[in-house]
Amino acid sequence: MSAVWPHLPILQVIIPLFGALLAGFARRSGAAFAITLVVSWLMPLCAGAMLWQVLASGPISYHLGSWPPPWGIEYRVDVLNAFVLMLVSTIGAVIMPFARRSVAFEIEEGQRAWFYCMYLLCLTGLLGVTITGDAFNAFVFLEISSLSTYVLIALGRDRRALLAAFQYLIMGTIGATLYVAGVGLLYLVTGSLNMVDIAARLGPAWADNSRAIIAALAFVTVGVSLKLALFPLHAWLPNAYAYAPSWATAFLSATATKVAIYLLVRFLFSIFGVAIDFRALPVAAIVVALSLAAMFVASLIAVFQSNLSRMLAYSSVAQIGYITLGIGFVNLAGLTGGLVHIVNHALMKAALFLAVGAIFFRVRTVRLSELAGIGRKMPITMAAFTVAGFGLVGTPGTSGFISKWYLALGALEKGWWVVVFLIVASSLIALVYVGRVLELAWLREPSDAIKDANDPPLSMLLPLVLLAAATIYFGLDTEWTAGIASMAAKDLLGGLR
């Protein structure tokens, strides 16, 4: 065990990579699933060990190929990315058992092994973006996760999935191009790709290169915002989430946008924020304005959706707005709220999309008009949906309340009373779209389309119930979510110039 200890950062990335390759070799869906399950369950152990190590003794640095930074690629784990690594790998581990039946139902036999291969590649990419301390290496991992995501979406149940994947491919590629252009500018100015090193060199370079640095900030912010679907750059997201295989949607909604948010935070606070006073630039104000727009516009669009997946997809855009709102506050409570909502939203949205997957598994439709009375036929599934739905609204006692509490505190600290009001008002819109589904599910007589439905098998039910339970648990005990998030926020703000 002690021999493994110093190599945990790289194992976090190469175990899923090897898993993907083996799944690609296996070609048979059963074997590929077994490999994927083992890998997914190893990941939280790895991330948990690193989180423990970081909390106990500070950041971990790992030098690939033993080349010292800034020349070689450095993997650098601090509280913030250990927190995100833990989230991504835990989500993957918890929802993996759900995949076997759901994937077997939605994807034909010949493509199932490729599905698992692509999922593991996506996991590799997401964990890689999070763990690396090298700006260009982050781009490479971003592309690994994006390319595999396009394939995951294209494997969806009908031909509209192809169009959705293509739409995302175009937008994702533009985002990645902008990001790498920004990194290129930073390299031009500082001569370095290592994030810590860039941050150290950027300050002295500011006097002569302020235009290039501002351009780099703009490129990186817009590029990453496309990836994280910040309103109005979210156009790819609703179709991608609606037409991807159900399980892939649950995974992506809980992790992919969250990792992009992590990258934005890393660039704003650990690179630009350290070197220049970005509070003097309008970045945070723009982010706050767009976040508020996302919270209202996307929530309103969600109210009028007739397809449950699309409704939840628009809700995701709105919820991402809450996260970026907290980031835009640039104060302790706000940033804590944003970071803690990364976790809380991931847990809730994974539960909701798993419930949608379970419904599709039983009744082959997710059109709201056909789901009347579904709660009476699939009570456990819809109970979990209800709990997570209340979390989305931000009801006290659920984790969503904790996020919004911190966000409101952050707004108060800034003296922005209007924003506090807006947070509450947008939550009421969430209540409308969630309430609409709940009324339909519980209070109507079951329709003919769903008369044979019942709760899915245990392997699908258990992840769903676990995530719903987590929504309540983290609404009551916030030590592991808000506690660590506020430590990470303190670190980030402490480094600011």
Partner 1 sequence: MSLDLILRVGTKLILPFILLFALYVQFHGDYGPGGGFQAGVIAASAIILLSITFGLEAAHRIAPQSLVERMIPLGVLIYAGTGVAGLLMGKNYLDYSVLAHDAVHGHELGIFLVEAGVLITVASTMTALFYAFAERGR
Positions in 384-443 near partner 1 (CB under 8 A): none
Q: Does 17 bind partner 1 (CB under 8 A)?
A: yes
Q: How many Å apart are CA 318 and CA 301, to the nearest integer?
A: 10
Q: How many Å apart are CA 294 and CA 281, to the nearest integer?
A: 22
Residue from 5, 14, 413, 439 that binds partner 1 (CB under 8 A)? 14
CB of 65 to partner 1, least distance (A): 4
Stretch that binds partner 1, among 57-65, 313-321, 370-378, 473-481 (CB under 8 A): 57-65
Q: Does 21 bind partner 1 (CB under 8 A)?
A: yes
Q: Does 2 bind partner 1 (CB under 8 A)?
A: no
Of 298, 289, 293, 221, give the one whose Cα is nearest residue 260: 221
Is residue 327 within 8 Å of 334, Cβ to Cβ? yes
Residue from 65, 110, 415, 494 that binds partner 1 (CB under 8 A)? 65
Q: Does 63 bind partner 1 (CB under 8 A)?
A: yes
Is residue 318 within 8 Å of 299, Cβ to Cβ? yes
Is residue 371 within 8 Å of 441, Cβ to Cβ? yes
- Number of residues in contact with partner 1, rule: CB under 8 A? 18
Q: Which is nearer to partner 1, 19 or 172 (CB)?
A: 19
Q: Which is nearer to partner 1, 63 or 444 (CB)?
A: 63
Residue from 5, 25, 52, 71 that binds partner 1 (CB under 8 A)? 25
Q: Which is nearer to partner 1, 19 or 223 (CB)?
A: 19
Stretch that binds partner 1, among 15-23, 347-355, 369-377, 382-390 (CB under 8 A): 15-23
Q: Which is nearer to partner 1, 68 or 415 (CB)?
A: 68
Stretch that binds partner 1, among 56-64, 91-99, 283-291, 413-421 (CB under 8 A): 56-64
Four-CA torsion 119, 125, 128, 132, nearest 10 degrees: -170
Q: Does 52 bind partner 1 (CB under 8 A)?
A: no
Structure tokens at 341: 């909502």
Identity of the amino acid at 400: G
180 burial (CB, 10 Å; 0-12 / 13-18 / 19+) is: buried
Stretch that binds partner 1, among 23-31, 35-43, 284-292, 328-336 (CB under 8 A): 23-31
Residue from 39, 44, 60, 62 that binds partner 1 (CB under 8 A)? 62
Q: Which is nearer to partner 1, 26 or 450 (CB)?
A: 26
Q: Which is nearer to partner 1, 36 or 225 (CB)?
A: 36
Positions in 103-122 near partner 1 (CB under 8 A): 117
Q: How many Å apart are CA 60 and CA 76, to the nearest integer?
A: 6
Residue from 34, 37, 42, 64 that binds partner 1 (CB under 8 A)? 64
Phi, psi (deg, nearest 5) at residue 132: -75, 150
CB of 179 to partner 1, least distance (A): 23
Q: Does 7 bind partner 1 (CB under 8 A)?
A: yes
Task: Give the 3-state DSSP-derived string for 152-179, with helices as H, strands as E and coil as C.
Answer: HHHCCCCCHHHHHHHHHHHHHHHHHHHH
The alpha carbons of the chain give a radius of gyration, in whole angstroms, of 21
DSSP letter, residue 478: -
CB of 76 to partner 1, least distance (A): 14
Q: Does 162 bind partner 1 (CB under 8 A)?
A: no
Structure tokens at 214: 């501002």
Q: Does 10 bind partner 1 (CB under 8 A)?
A: yes
CB of 385 to partner 1, least distance (A): 38
Q: How many Å apart are CA 460 and CA 357, to the nearest integer?
A: 9
Residues binding partner 1 (CB under 8 A): 3, 7, 10, 14, 17-18, 20-22, 24-25, 27, 62-66, 117
